[in-house]
Chain A
């Protein structure tokens, strides 16, 4: 095995930072999201919307944990974690939805639409933030550095 394959990244777990940042961002809009889902689909829709947000956050957290852990071990394992993790998370998502589909509080339409909207909305929001700072959250430039750069 060549040395390249054993290379690993012992830097900070940036994936976990990004996932935690997304979780923090969803908290203020969570009541609005649940309220809108409740207005459109009723109380079951509100409960399903809340459940969908929890699923999206759990999905991102699991993805971050798998990728961050794999990067600390080996970059080769990162590839395995990314593709294996994708399949695993899709399986878990399917299993969870299959298990709750017959519950009285589940509205499948509300669950599905909130799942997509939350996932895409959070990602676009986070990408905008990361693009604006031109660095991952751990390297976000401070105002003093920005002012120094402008001089």
Chain B
């Protein structure tokens, strides 16, 4: 197994190796940056639905806050996305 890995590295040019590593890093970074907002949006919407079920008369205000909360949480994923495109395409 080790000899196979050594053979692979010996056959790969340093630039290709670094490109591969950066692609792996960009992919993992983008994926990891999307996990947190996914959990955050779940919490925001879950609590908003609970609030609307308890007080339907304040649903408008709750939905406004929920929409802004979702958009703020999504900004984290956008930052991860921008890091991804900067690593991969810039």
| A interface residue numbers (CB < 8 A to B) | 4, 7, 9, 11-12, 14-15, 18-19, 60, 63-64, 67, 71, 75, 78-79, 82-83, 86-87, 89-90, 93-94, 97, 101, 108-109, 111-113, 115-116, 119-120, 123, 126-127, 130, 135-139
Contacts and interface: CB of A to CB of B under 8 A. Distances in A.
A67 B63 contact: yes
Contacts of A9: 52, 56, 59, 63
Interface residues of B, number: 36
Contact of B45 (A64, A83, A97): A83
B51 to A, nearest CB: 11
A71 B44 CA distance: 15
Contact of B82 (A86, A89, A113, A130): A113
Question: What 9 pairs across the A-B complex have the smallest Cβ distances?
Answer: A136-B64, A112-B82, A82-B45, A108-B90, A15-B67, A9-B59, A101-B89, A108-B89, A14-B64
B18 interface: no
Interface in B48-69: 48-49, 52-53, 56, 59-61, 63-68
A108 B85 CA distance: 7
B74 to A, nearest CB: 6
